[in-house]
């Protein structure tokens, strides 16, 4: 597929990830690839034959990025790499591995198929969020999985209103709200009772967190909608909004959070035998075929 410059991103301080990165460097050099290793994990690797750079530089120069680690490592890399339109593939050195689906013990065979073009490419959309205070933009960031409005303290309730394209949807007293992409529907949203959305859907799920009414239920909406959350001024404490559980932004009573689809997309590459429902069955322990 014309991959000549490959970026490597690894899970820091993880011996298994370091072994995979070391093997990947050998593999890629045999394919005459230029190899750029992300700077935070490069110091743990032996030998030479590779360059060192930050994620943004990898994004501007690489044709392919290989993330070695868990889904958390993929999320952190994806938020940066998506804006550079770099193809990304994941080698699982984490736990569940919904996004990092290549087996580290069989990576050469699976990468061979990717290099020869026998693979699947998915376009996953991201979210962008903005926090406004008195009509002025305070902070902004992006998310691959979900944006979550939540309290800074455990088991504390808040009040807020939700609007969809300026239409009032509901007000709520709860611990917060999860706004999840299809990619994030198998992450925090799933733990909160949200629906699983197949990756090809152009939709978002809005999942209440411990609402103070039994009638509150998750709702699936068009991903091209703008979601606005108005935080009540009656809240006595400062709140937070987080992206993929990695980035936390401060929210004060009376602030507004605006969430919309990010123009950047994550180009996620899978081996040719990848099947989303096989992943669900394996990771979530679903039953096998009876006959």
Whether 106 is catalytic is no
For domain 5-118+272-284, give its CATH number from 3.40.50.10330, 3.10.129.10, 3.90.1150.10, 3.40.830.10.
3.40.50.10330
Known binding residue 189? Answer is yes
pTM: 0.93
Known binding residue 132? Answer is no
Catalytic residue among 63, 71, 112, 165: 71
**Kindly report the CA angle at 191 between 188 and 196, in degrees rounded to 5?**
80
The ranges assigned to domains in the chain are 5-118+272-284, 126-263
Known binding residue 173? Answer is yes
Known binding residue 145? Answer is yes
Known binding residue 43? Answer is no
**Kindly report the CA angle at 285 between 279 and 291, in degrees rounded to 5?**
85
Q: Tell me the pLDDT of the chain (291 aa) as tens digits.
A: 679 999 999 988 788 889 999 999 999 999 999 999 999 888 888 877 899 999 999 999 999 999 999 889 999 999 999 999 899 999 998 777 788 889 899 899 999 999 998 999 999 999 999 999 999 999 999 999 999 999 888 778 899 999 999 899 999 999 999 999 999 999 999 999 999 999 999 999 999 999 988 889 999 999 999 999 999 998 888 899 999 998 999 999 999 999 999 999 999 999 888 899 998 998 888 887 888
Name the CATH architecture for the domain at 126-263. Answer: Sandwich (2.60)
Q: What is the pLDDT of residue 48?
A: 76
Residues 189-198 as b/e (b if ≥16 CB within 10 A, e otherwise) read bbebebeebe
Known binding residue 71? Answer is yes
Pairing of strands 34-38, 5-10: parallel
Burial class of residue 130 in the structure, from the number of CB atoms within 10 Å of its CB (0-12 exposed, 13-18 middle, 19+ buried): middle
């Amino acid at each position: 597929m014309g991959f000549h410059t490959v970026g490597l991103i690894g899970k820091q301080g993880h011996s298994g990830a370091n072994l995979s990165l070391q093997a990947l460097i050998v593999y890629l050099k045999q394919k005459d690839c230029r190899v750029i290793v992300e700077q935070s994990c490069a110091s743990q690797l032996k030998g030479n034959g590779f360059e060192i750079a930050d994620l943004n530089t990898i994004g501007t120069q690489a044709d392919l990025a290989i993330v070695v680690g868990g889904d958390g490592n993929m999320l952190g890399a994806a938020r940066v790499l998506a804006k550079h339109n770099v193809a990304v593939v994941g080698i699982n050195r984490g736990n569940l591995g919904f996004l990092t689906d290549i087996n580290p013990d069989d990576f050469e065979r699976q990468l061979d198929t990717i290099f020869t073009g026998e693979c699947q490419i998915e376009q996953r959309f991201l979210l962008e969020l903005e926090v406004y205070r008195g009509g002025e933009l305070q902070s902004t960031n992006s998310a691959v999985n979900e944006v979550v409005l939540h309290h800074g303290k455990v088991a504390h309730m808040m009040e807020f209103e939700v609007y969809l394209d300026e239409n009032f949807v509901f007000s709520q007293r709860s611990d917060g709200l999860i706004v999840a992409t299809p990619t994030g529907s198998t992450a925090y949203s799933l733990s909160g009772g949200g629906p699983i959305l197949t990756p090809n859907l152009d939709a978002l799920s809005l999942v209440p967190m411990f609402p103070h009414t039994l009638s509150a239920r998750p709702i699936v909406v068009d991903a091209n909608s703008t979601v606005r959350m108005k935080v009540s001024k009656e809240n006595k404490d400062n709140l937070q909004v987080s992206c993929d559980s990695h980035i936390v932004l401060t929210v004060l009573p009376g602030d507004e959070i605006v969430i919309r689809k990010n123009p950047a997309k994550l180009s996620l590459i899978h081996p040719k035998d990848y099947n989303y429902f096989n992943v669900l069955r394996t990771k979530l322990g679903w039953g096998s075929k009876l006959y």
